[in-house]
Amino acid sequence: MTTFHEPSRDLPVIHEADVCVLGGSCTGLFAAVRAARLGARVVIVEKDNCFGGIATTAMVNVWHSLWNTSGDRQIIAGLTEEVIDRLDRRGALKRNEKTHPSVGFAFNSEELKIELDELAREARLKIYFHTQFAAPAPINENGRLAAVFVENKSGRGAIRARVFIDATGDADLAARLGCETYLANHLQPATACARFSGWDTLGDTAGRLGELLRTRGPAHHLPPTFAWGCRVPGAATYMLAATRVHGINPAQADDLTHGEIEGRRQVRAIMNILREAAPDSRLALEALPSRLGLRESRHIRSSYQLTGDDVLSGRPFEDTIAQGSYRVDVHHQDKPGITLRYLDGTEEYCAPGAYVRSRWRPETPTNPTFYQVPYRTLLPLNGPENVIVAGRMLDVDPIAHAAVRVMVNMNQTGEAAGVAAVLALETGQPLASLNPGLLRAKLIEGGSAL
């Protein structure tokens, strides 16, 4: 490869804080807010123009249940519940049954953007939007990261902090620090969502979307897919997630570029199929996401990989920092449709024109009703002692990832990272040496339902 030498230069320190969070989805923002509420000075860096990550920029507007599968124990609270209540007061949320395995809450992603701005403002965060994390500073002689370099319209600058939280979804900081990361053999496919007006004018055709995609999709060069969608609360639009972009590595720029264009092409192809089937409808494209929806990219290697077996058996951990009840939900790369695996031992395979219900294990007298995520899965092996990750890059096998990746779970990893950062500052200990009991107690004190 031909190379150019980039001359080295001194960069201005544009901000100094106790805690620096990279990535501003709810995961990153909740980390920042929890740290700030405990008195830390916090800066948060987001490459897009708003908070929320996939919930806003990729239009995914569904959060799952905050309860266990039997509905007799609330297992998630904290900032997720706080934001749900705030959106509800705005009329920007629809609540469903508390134990529904799929849809707990549908919300208006545009309202969420503003609500998250408010949350950040109240917590007095220093916010950098349109700012990309570019590289870490060299590790200092104490084995600590002292600064990161960011790039925005004003140029390149350094942010100094005492603890860094990588909430970039793709483990950008961990990877650039040289920490070990890995990609699953079959990454879950990416999806470009879209919002439509005139959905109701499709009449019965809307209900036949799966069948239409199966029969007419190939002529429109659509891969076999799985389609779901929901009305956007407080708006006259319908959010549809029905495209499927295979073979994308979200840590590769060329793949991302191809994925964005292919996702939008598929949205148009789906619209054409719907219009052919319902020529009198008034279906119109209202909005496309500002970025492709990514389900999976790099994972960090930590001292413990959470397994599908841990999740499906509800294994308890001494250092649990997050809990969930969302089913295992594998979006296949190698065949159409999805496989849903439940804690009660049942399994469903769903694809356009195909539905098979079976068991993945024999019946047992009792079943777990929720699963747990240990703190260890957020700590990069051999990473600097003041760096932690939060979000979908945690250390998980593919089956565990298929369950824990959803936002109500990832939001909790953010809250845990934020509280851990403050505890590390208060005790002077490396993040990996924190007392898990103390961390859990602090999380509960701040509103978590552990």
Interface residues toward ligand FAD, by CB under 6 A: 22-25, 27-28, 45-48, 53-54, 58, 60, 62-64, 132-133, 167-170, 172, 191, 193, 241, 293-295, 391-392, 405-408, 410
- Minimum distance from CB of 201 to ligand FAD (Å)? 25
- Minimum distance from CB of 354 to ligand FAD (Å)? 21
Nearer to ligand FAD by Cβ, of 277 and 391: the residue is 391
Nearer to ligand FAD by Cβ, of 22 and 212: the residue is 22
Nearer to ligand FAD by Cβ, of 281 and 380: the residue is 380
Nearer to ligand FAD by Cβ, of 28 and 210: the residue is 28
Tokens in use for 153?
Answer: 């319209």
Angstrom distance (rounded) from CA 426 to CA 10: 31
- Minimum distance from CB of 58 to ligand FAD (Å)? 6
Nearer to ligand FAD by Cβ, of 190 and 277: the residue is 190
Nearer to ligand FAD by Cβ, of 277 and 394: the residue is 394
- Minimum distance from CB of 177 to ligand FAD (Å)? 13
- Minimum distance from CB of 388 to ligand FAD (Å)? 13
Angstrom distance (rounded) from CA 241 to CA 238: 10
- Minimum distance from CB of 221 to ligand FAD (Å)? 20
- Minimum distance from CB of 376 to ligand FAD (Å)? 17
- Minimum distance from CB of 410 to ligand FAD (Å)? 4
Encoded amino acid at 281, one letter: S
- Minimum distance from CB of 102 to ligand FAD (Å)? 8
Nearer to ligand FAD by Cβ, of 278 and 376: the residue is 376
Nearer to ligand FAD by Cβ, of 167 and 177: the residue is 167
Nearer to ligand FAD by Cβ, of 278 and 389: the residue is 389
